[in-house]
Structure formats: C-alpha cells, structure tokens
Amino acid sequence: MTDEQDNDHEIDPLRRGLLAGVPLTAAALALGAGGAAAQQAASAPAPGRRMLGGLETSELGLGVQNMHRTFHTIVPHRDDVIALIRTAYEEGVTFFDCAEVYGPFLNEEILGEAMAPFRDDVQVVTKFGYDIDLETGAWDGGLNSRPEHIRAAVEGSLRRLGTDRVDLLYQHRVDPDVPIEDVAGVVSDLMDEGKALHWGLSECGPATLRRAHELLPLAAVQSEYSMLWRGREDDIIPITRELGIGFVPFAPLGYGFLTGAIDMATSFAPGDFRANTSRMDVGEDGGGNRAANMAIVDLAREWGARKDAKPGEIALAWLLAQGDSIVPIPGTTQLPHLRDNIAAAQVTFTEGELAELTAALDAIEVQGERAPPMVAEWSDVEAPDAT
C-alpha cells in the first residue's frame, strides 16, 4: 500500500466495531461510533473484568517487558518466566502487554511460547513504532511509523507471538514525521484482515489522541500513571473518559519504588533505567529527591497497615479505584510479587477513604523527573498534519 493510498483510505468505524465483536445498540449507531456512546454500548464486563473500549480484559494485566532482562540487569531463566506467565493466567490474569522493542523481539517470543496452550482465552497486546531493523533487531534509537514499516513490524510480531491476530495493537510512540492519518489507515487495513482487533496509542499528545479516535475509534491509551506520577490526570485521562476510551497505566508501581523495596541505601546498576531518573537521585547529604518522594511510600505503608495490605497493593488498588476503565499492567519476574499484585484487586476503599488517601497524595510534591531526557522527548508528541 502506498502513502497516497493511506491518505485516501476511507475508514468505516462501524465496520471496525463489528469486526472486533463489539455489540452496538441502534442508538449508538445513530450517534456514530466515534464517540463515547458507541464505546459504552459494549456489553458490561463479567465480574472481576474491565472494558477498554470494546475489549474485555482482566482487572490487572501483566507487563511482559523485562522477561529477558530485569531492571537489575539480571537475565532470568526462560523456563521460569514462562512458568510465571502461565501462573498469572491460572490466577485470573488474561491481559498480557508486550512490544517488538522489548528485547528487541525476545519478549514477544517468550510470551508466544508461554501463552500457546491458552491463546484463545487471553488478550494479547503488542506495539510498533520504533525504527528497528526487522531482520537483525538492531535499533539506533529512532522512531518509524511509516505505513510499510508498520505492516512489516506487525507481521513479525504475529510470527514471534505464534498467533494470527493481536487483541490490542498500539503505536508505541507518536512519530513526529508521520501523520496519524497514515498510521490509522494501515491499522485499519490490518483490522480488515483480522490481524488486529483493537488499537491504541501510547504516550501521545492530546490533539493526536482526538484526531486518531475520530479516524478509527481507539480502545485504549497507555501511559505512565501511579501514585508517584499523576501527570495524565491533567490532560489525557479526561479525554479518555469523555470519549469512552480505556486507560492502561504502565509503571503503576513507580518501577518498584511504591512497593517499598527501594530505600535511601539502594543503588542501581549502571544499565538500570531508574539510575537515570532524577526522582531517584540521592543528594550528597543523603537527602535529595528520593528522600522527598519517600513520603509517598510512607503513605502507602500507613494505608497498608489500615487495610492489611502491602504498600504496592495499596498503590495498585488506588489506581483501580480511579475508574472502571483503568487497567494497570505491573511487570515482574518474581512469583511472590505477581501474587502481591493480583491481591491488590481485593483491596477496596470507601468513598471517604479514597478521598482521604487522594488528599494526602495531593499534599505531597513529587521531586524530580520521571524519565531520562531521551525517553521524555518521545512523550506528549503530536503527529504532523496530513499532507
């Protein structure tokens, strides 16, 4: 498909909903499937389940990002992480989030092998958008959402995952050189072919979110969101609620910080992402940003004592309480941590308790940036106008 064909491609949003198996009421059809009415016309989820647009998932997902190498730069045994993914499924997790860039390629292969016995019972997520050599896996740090690259990337992901379709396909980062109309056009074609059932955006700018949803209704937006970083409450989350789009928080435990596993004496390996985030900085006097941010961990511990839960469970439960269309995707390679995360779905707050906890969070001013500059520059990007 040529770029010109992409720009001229007519996208029928009703056809997309029917392809994905989303039941639409007559009223929703009359209003048009591009708005919240059509998204909300999907059938209510089963108990313990949630809706991302028209996609039903488990309350919590599993991030399959570091199964080949942890943040600590440890390489887990492949058999162990496959067993962990299968245990997650056995304990009710059916939403598995991956991407071609994770590895690159290796985590899709791990997930594909792990989920093979129950592929039809789970929701599989992958992402495109980085300029990865699709033969060698080499990556120079750039982005690439040209239509021909998207198609080739998705074909590779399907092969590695051992499946004929992904349930949710994200643009991993908005490409500042490619109009979102071109991206939606090729994704629409992939949906026509049954290779993608739903689509979404990750770390997008608000204007691009609205444009993309108008073109081809989005099921979900993914971004960092946790008790440690709440920036999306100001821009993206209000739009997702308005339009009936789901929201998927990554790093819902603040890259492990909110579990209480990191203290003032913790050091990070040079290759650990967290070593390059200023919110983890420790000053020469032993204070610094990390010391200020420990107030959030202390708050989670306090509420853990009140709820007979661990700090990380409180952090996840608080996220789950922010709305029924929010599905956090904590990642782990440790079975005890997986079970702690799953247990968070059993922690509940009364309306008064939630207001009290949120007010206490509001009073804490988080210090430092959430990501290194190179990573931060890929967030909140707006796609260029179509030509």
The residues that are catalytic are 102
Residues 6+ apart with CB under 8 A from 240: 209, 221, 246, 247, 325
Q: Per the structure block, which two tokens stand in for 17? A: 């909903």
Structure tokens that stand for 53 in this block? 């647009």
Per DSSP, the three-state class of 362 is: helix
**What is the DSSP pairing of strand 55-58 with strand 49-52?**
antiparallel
Bridge partners, residue 168, by sequence: 125
Q: Choose among 111, 97, 91, 90: nearest CA to 62.
A: 97
Give the gyration radius of the chain's Cα atoms. Answer: 20
C-alpha 367/C-alpha 291 separation (Å) is 9
3-state DSSP helix/strand/coil % of the chain, to nearest 5: 45, 15, 45
Between strands 139-143 and 130-132, the pairing is antiparallel
Beta strands in 19-77 (DSSP E): 49-52, 55-58, 62-63
Task: Determine whether 163 is exposed, middle or buried from the number of CB atoms within 10 Å of its CB (0-12, 13-18, 19+).
Answer: buried
Retrieve residue 370's tokens.
Answer: 């959430």
For the CA atoms of 294, 371, 154, 10, the dihedral, rounded to the nearest 10 degrees, stands at 110
